[in-house]
Structure 1
Amino acid sequence: MTAEILQLHGDRPPSLDPMMALVAADMNEVNAVILDRMQSQVPLIPELAGHLIAGGGKRMRPMLTLACGKLLDYPGHRHCKLAAAVEFIHTATLLHDDVVDGSDLRRGRKTANIIWGNSASVLVGDFLFSRAFEVMVEDGSLKVLKILSRASAVIAEGEVNQLSAQRRIETSEDQYLEIINAKTAELFAAACKIAAVVAERDEATEAALDAYGRNLGIAFQLVDDAIDYVSDEATMGKGVGDDFRDGKVTLPVILAYARGTAEEREFWKQAIVGHRTSDDDLAHATALLLKHDTIADTLARARHYGQRAVDAIGGFRASRAKAALTEAVAFAVARAY
């Protein structure tokens, strides 16, 4: 799939530029809502929230809401405020995740929890969740409220499920996929689906956009989990091997453990419980992943889900929006190359 899309682009690699150009005007409106709604009489709140929101993120999820609106020729502006709500939900989960994971870096900058402490990060995350729900209620659609509130609950369930699976080498591939579907893909799906609701399209259209976002989200997370072992800090914006040191059992590890010798399995057991986390151990883990082709197989799985995302919007007429959404899938997968 990726190779086919790359050919369509000629020599240039796929990027989010077409989607960014498509939604630029609407994105200005989204950013104005974000800036306005993160304000508070308590100075620490906009200071901390602004650190993360201004930290160089691509704003991919709110852009998906806007681009799906373009795909449906939606002429209004309701989706702009809702896209801001989507970004607030995402930002709140990042603040909470960095506390749970004890992360030092996010998008190449010190995390909020390192600068202001865990308590402030958790509480400002709660504030942003609350702002998101204020915006949803103002929109007035119970259906939108149901989609985004459910997404918020599912994301939290996914994070708890991931915490339960942490340092458990026996985590299954099915449980792993359940975790990433909840913690990552659910918000991608909701961000896309709400565009169909505000555009007052039928349930088939809602389902198509849900499927596009969900499969894109799964592909996105699969690539993240693969490149955690083979990329670099500058590219990822976080520490290399963080998942390994945190004892997260991701698909590359699940496959390597299943394919490994008794000696290799013992190494993985020791590593995942936290007894083998040195740089040499990380290098050995990466060598095992490469030996058993588990990075390549994880990326192949990402391409599979990427193709499912493209197929989900196959029934829509050719347009600039459809092309941008298709290229966004290629971008998500091509980050690994």
Structure 2
Amino acid sequence: MAVVASVKKSKTPQPSIEALVDLVSGGMEEVNKLILSKAGSNVELIPEIARHLISSGGKRLRPMLTLAFADMFGYRGDGHVVLAASVEFMHTATLLHDDVVDESDMRRGKLAARKLWGNQASVLVGDYLLGQSFKMMVDVGSLEALRILSEASAIIAEGEVMQLGAAQNIATTEEQYLKVIEAKTAALFAAAAEVGPVIADQDASMKAAARTYGLELGFAFQMVDDALDYGGSSADLGKDVGDDFREGKITLPVVLSIKRGTDQERAFWSRCLEENDIRDGDLDQAIALMKKYDAISDTVQRARDYGANALGALDQLPDGPYRDALADAVAFCIARVS
């Protein structure tokens, strides 16, 4: 069993997203009802697989961003609820697809859908959810919101292909890694935040500030996840520690370790990640190299830098409880590993 390089956590009270959860609780109740309704189908396997993942938890941070940014500007109507549900369907679809591509066994602490129903069913149900997502976007009647979310969907798919190209390639650079996580993670955070002021008819500066907040938060969120894969626990991740290593993913802790390492150490990474020749004790060795070169702690610091950028974007938005709660969300995302 691997010895995980646990990242020390402060004894001070941990940041929370409770304020954000409380502010959007009414909207999220409607979002959850809509999600369950739209996940239905006469084809029995579709709701069975969709609800397996939907009911398994998750913080639903992305749809909460949509609700919070719409509410911040006093939006009246149900369009933000529909768009928030659409955002969550997009996210759920990408999880179903990702688990097939990555051959993952666990998702949110449960068996991945592909392990229970197979790869084909998981991919096709993901496609169904994407279709439902776009139907909901159209129902809202905002061409701008439709453009933003549809562009995000295309960017996410590009990111998945980019990640395939980077997987098991130890020559992957930090710049290439950033392009992958911008597409796979940050793009949906950005879109989820931006459509709030869009349907609230705000000016370009407010839309840009919301988008920047979401984008920077998305970068920070993914970097923390990548650090947790080597410095966290299965409870933190909802999957097994070291899954990225076993799947040959080239994340920032790996990129930094390879860049700073010796030729002999690069040969180790090549054997494990490029040749997929992982032996007993290799995960321990990988974590030891990351500790040697401060790769995990530097990944967390980069996440903090992106979090600071997100807070800077918030400074341009109206003061009040929503801005405070969105700032708490940044601190919460970072504190998962700090």
Instruction: Please report the TM-score for the alignment, with normalisation by the length of structure 1.
Output: 0.96
Amino acid at match of 1:76: G
Indicate the SS of the match to 1:58. Answer: coil
CA distance in 1, matches of 2:143, 2:12: 46
CA distance in 2, matches of 1:74, 1:307: 27
CA distance in 2, matches of 1:268, 1:299: 21
Q: CA deviation at 1:127?
A: 0.4
CA distance in 2, matches of 1:143, 1:209: 15
CA separation of 1:29 and 1:162: change in aligned 2, threshold 3 A: same
Q: Deviations over 1:138-163 (max 9, x none)?
A: 11111111000000000000010000
CA distance in 1, matches of 2:69, 2:310: 13
Q: Does 1:34 align with 2:35?
A: yes
- Tell me which residue corresponds to 2:16: 15
- Tell me which residue corresponds to 2:234: 233
CA separation of 1:314 and 1:280: change in aligned 2, threshold 3 A: same
- Tell me which residue corresponds to 1:147: 148
CA distance in 2, matches of 1:21, 1:308: 25
Report which stretch shifted further, 93-102 or 309-318.
309-318
CA distance in 2, matches of 1:11, 1:72: 33
CA separation of 1:42 and 1:296: change in aligned 2, threshold 3 A: same
Q: Does 1:264 align with 2:283?
A: no
- Tell me which residue corresponds to 2:333: 332
Q: Deviations over 1:112-168 (max 9, x none)?
A: 000011111001000000000000111111111100000000000001000011100
Amino acid at match of 2:91: H
Identity of aligned residues (%): 53
Q: Deviations over 1:183-229 (max 9, x none)?
A: 00000000000001100001111110000000000000001111101
Amino acid at match of 1:64: L
User: RMSD across aligned C-alpha pairs, in angstroms?
Assistant: 1.4
Q: CA deviation at 1:316?
A: 2.3
Kept in 1, the 8 Å contact 2:206–2:316? The answer is no
Q: Does 1:321 align with 2:291?
A: no
CA distance in 1, matches of 2:25, 2:60: 12
Kept in 1, the 8 Å contact 2:228–2:236? The answer is no
Q: CA deviation at 1:317?
A: 3.1
- Tell me which residue corresponds to 1:168: 169
Q: CA deviation at 1:265?
A: 1.2
- Tell me which residue corresponds to 1:56: 57
Report which stretch shifted further, 259-268 or 204-213.
259-268
Kept in 2, the 8 Å contact 1:62–1:87? The answer is yes
- Tell me which residue corresponds to 1:197: 198
CA distance in 2, matches of 1:273, 1:306: 32
CA distance in 1, matches of 2:317, 2:268: 49
CA separation of 1:279 and 1:193: change in aligned 2, threshold 3 A: farther
Indicate the SS of the match to 2:163. Answer: helix
The equivalences for 1:243-262 within 5 A come to 243-262=244-263
Runs of 4 or more above 3 Å deviation = none
CA distance in 2, matches of 1:278, 1:212: 42
CA distance in 1, matches of 2:147, 2:112: 31
Kept in 2, the 8 Å contact 1:245–1:274? The answer is no
CA distance in 2, matches of 1:250, 1:279: 21
Report which stretch shifted further, 277-286 or 187-196.
277-286
Q: CA deviation at 1:315?
A: 2.0
Q: CA deviation at 1:279?
A: 4.2
Q: Deviations over 1:17-75 (max 9, x none)?
A: 11111100010111111111111011111111000000011111001111111222223
Amino acid at match of 1:161: M
The equivalences for 1:254-293 within 5 A come to 254-293=255-294
CA distance in 2, matches of 1:234, 1:142: 40
Kept in 2, the 8 Å contact 1:154–1:183? The answer is yes
CA distance in 1, matches of 2:279, 2:43: 42
CA distance in 2, matches of 1:254, 1:181: 16
CA distance in 1, matches of 2:175, 2:219: 13
Instruction: Please report the TM-score for the alignment, with normalisation by the length of structure 2.
Output: 0.95
Q: CA deviation at 1:11?
A: 4.2
Kept in 1, the 8 Å contact 2:149–2:191? The answer is yes
CA distance in 2, matches of 1:24, 1:11: 27
When the two structures are aligned, how many residues end up with a matched partner? Answer: 330
CA distance in 1, matches of 2:51, 2:57: 11
CA distance in 2, matches of 1:60, 1:253: 27
Q: Which runs of 5+ in 1 are unaligned?
A: 1-5
Kept in 1, the 8 Å contact 2:214–2:310? The answer is yes
